[in-house]
């Protein structure tokens, strides 16, 4: 079975492990069991008719005497591109708008308050090709572009916050950025945040198109809680998650586009570890499918053929494995969405859990941040000497 056919780790476990052992296996792999969320029949039927997976889970917090529950429902959307990569640019964008609009409609049926799409959702992930045309034509204004206007209508229509990651064209300087626009449930633009870390790993050499962002670690106060967006490659950097947490994020979204051969063993670990370390919820969203391009491109790190490494020309980057999931500060997490299908993950969470787990584990209180800050400052100097004791 190829990687693009293997549907999910969870289904394989359920198929082959006896029921008596399965519960313990899942506890060790995923933390305490996450309860399933009852979703409306109309939503289940609509998802089936529109051919995408729908899952729902629930993270509960302990009842408190002085605070009521702070319940929010989050929706994560993963999807294939709709049209071939050589279709006209506007046709591709329009088709994706239609597909995502249909999926957001189901999210609204499920009572979702905040929805997040995958990285650069309005286009193929063409940055691997190094070609500029026609891919730069997908770039649009974060403030006035047709995708932002489309998402503003969705937000206002359904009373939900929309996180829409796009290829941004900053008109003043005519510069491209990998950006997530955050739109309030009122329909107004709350702000934008840009990708902090840019990969230069084989085909994932995105610096042909954009460089590291300049917006820092912004946290957005929404009606439904404080949220941040850690775009794709930033999940490999623990300090990136940390700084969003330091700025008060209760939910950190990680919209991504990453393939199985490159990162899949890390996928289920990084966002979950960040949720634990930073006493917050984290949401990993990864696109799904294999995207083919007309012109050959090569891997910057080579591909092995009969024991020798060559720069092998190919027309696809690999299989985007989906597997979107949500992790909680107590170390538990939802199962992942499918590795092969479009999907919507609906998760209800009580944000009171963030403080409850912080009070229990005290990672922030015991963090020794002043000491780290001093040592990091010294480590970035040109005359830095490691603190190594020798005989």
Which of 128, 151, 232, 280 is catalytic? The answer is 232
- Tokens, residue 383: 């005359």
For the packed helices 260-278 and 238-246, what is the interaxial angle rounded to 10 degrees? 30
Provide DSSP, 41-89.
HHHHHHHHHTT-EEEEEEE-----SSS---EEEEEEEE---SS-TTS-H
Q: Residues 221, 227, 233, 238: what is their CA dihedral angle, to the nearest 10 degrees?
A: 100
CA distances (Å), 115 to each of 31, 192, 346, 358, in order?
Answer: 25, 15, 9, 26
Q: Which of 135, 33, 28, 39 is nearest to 86 (CA)?
A: 135
Which of 10, 53, 119, 348 is catalytic? The answer is 119
Phi and psi based region of residue 187 (left: phi greater than 0; alpha: psi -120 to 50; beta: remaining): left
Q: H/E element holding 255?
A: strand 251-256
Q: Are 283 and 76 in contact (CB under 8 A)?
A: yes
Phi and psi based region of residue 44 (left: phi greater than 0; alpha: psi -120 to 50; beta: remaining): alpha
Which of 26, 192, 195, 226 is catalytic? The answer is 195
Is residue 119 among the annotated active site residues? yes
Is residue 168 among the annotated active site residues? no
Q: Which of 286, 182, 284 is nearest to 241 (CA)?
A: 284
Q: In this structure, what are the phi and psi dihedrals at residue 320, rounded to the nearest 5 degrees?
A: -75, 125
Q: In this structure, what are the phi and psi dihedrals at residue 110, rounded to the nearest 5 degrees?
A: -90, 5
Can you say how many angstroms the Cα of residue 237 is from the centroid of all Cα atoms in its chain? 14
Can you say how many angstroms the Cα of residue 336 is from the centroid of all Cα atoms in its chain? 12
Q: Which 3 state secondary structure label does DSSP give 100? A: helix
Is residue 195 among the annotated active site residues? yes
- Tokens, residue 128: 């691997």
Active site residues: 119, 195, 232
């Amino acid at each position: 079975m190829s990687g693009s056919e293997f549907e999910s780790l969870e289904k394989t476990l359920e198929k082959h492990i006896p029921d008596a052992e399965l519960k313990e296996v899942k506890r060790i792999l995923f933390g305490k069991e996450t309860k399933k969320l009852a979703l409306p029949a109309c939503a289940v039927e609509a998802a089936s008719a529109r051919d995408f997976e729908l899952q729902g889970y629930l993270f509960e917090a302990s009842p408190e005497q002085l605070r009521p529950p702070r319940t929010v429902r989050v929706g994560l959307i993963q999807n294939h591109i709709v049209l071939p990569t050589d279709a006209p640019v506007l046709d591709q964008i329009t088709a994706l708008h239609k597909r995502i609009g249909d999926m957001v409609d189901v999210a609204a049926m499920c009572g979702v308050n905040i929805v997040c799409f995958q990285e650069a959702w309005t286009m193929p992930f063409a940055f691997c090709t190094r070609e500029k045309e026609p891919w730069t034509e997908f770039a649009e204004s974060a403030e006035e572009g047709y995708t932002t206007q489309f998402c503003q209508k969705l937000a206002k229509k359904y009373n939900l916050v929309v996180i829409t990651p796009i290829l941004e064209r900053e008109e003043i300087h005519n510069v491209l950025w990998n950006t997530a626009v955050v739109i309030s449930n009122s329909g107004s633009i709350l702000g934008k945040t840009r990708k902090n870390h840019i990969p230069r790993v084989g085909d994932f050499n995105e610096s042909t198109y954009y460089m590291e962002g300049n917006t820092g670690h912004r946290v957005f106060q929404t009606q439904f809680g404080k949220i941040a967006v850690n775009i794709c490659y930033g999940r490999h950097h623990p300090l990136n998650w940390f700084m969003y947490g330091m700025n008060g994020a209760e939910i950190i979204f990680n919209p991504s586009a990453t393939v199985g051969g490159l990162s899949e063993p890390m996928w289920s670990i990084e966002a979950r570890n960040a949720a634990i370390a930073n006493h917050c919820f984290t949401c990993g969203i990864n696109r799904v499918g294999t995207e083919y391009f007309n012109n050959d491109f090569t891997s910057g790190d080579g591909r092995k053929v009969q024991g020798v490494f060559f720069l092998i020309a190919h027309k696809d980057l690999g299989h985007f494995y989906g597997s979107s999931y949500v992790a909680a500060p107590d170390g538990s997490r939802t199962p992942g969405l499918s590795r092969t299908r479009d999907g919507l993950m609906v998760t209800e969470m009580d944000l009171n859990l963030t403080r409850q787990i912080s009070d229990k584990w005290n990672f922030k209180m015991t963090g020794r941040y002043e000491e780290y800050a001093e040592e990091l400052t010294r480590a970035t100097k040109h005359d830095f000497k490691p603190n190594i004791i020798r005989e």
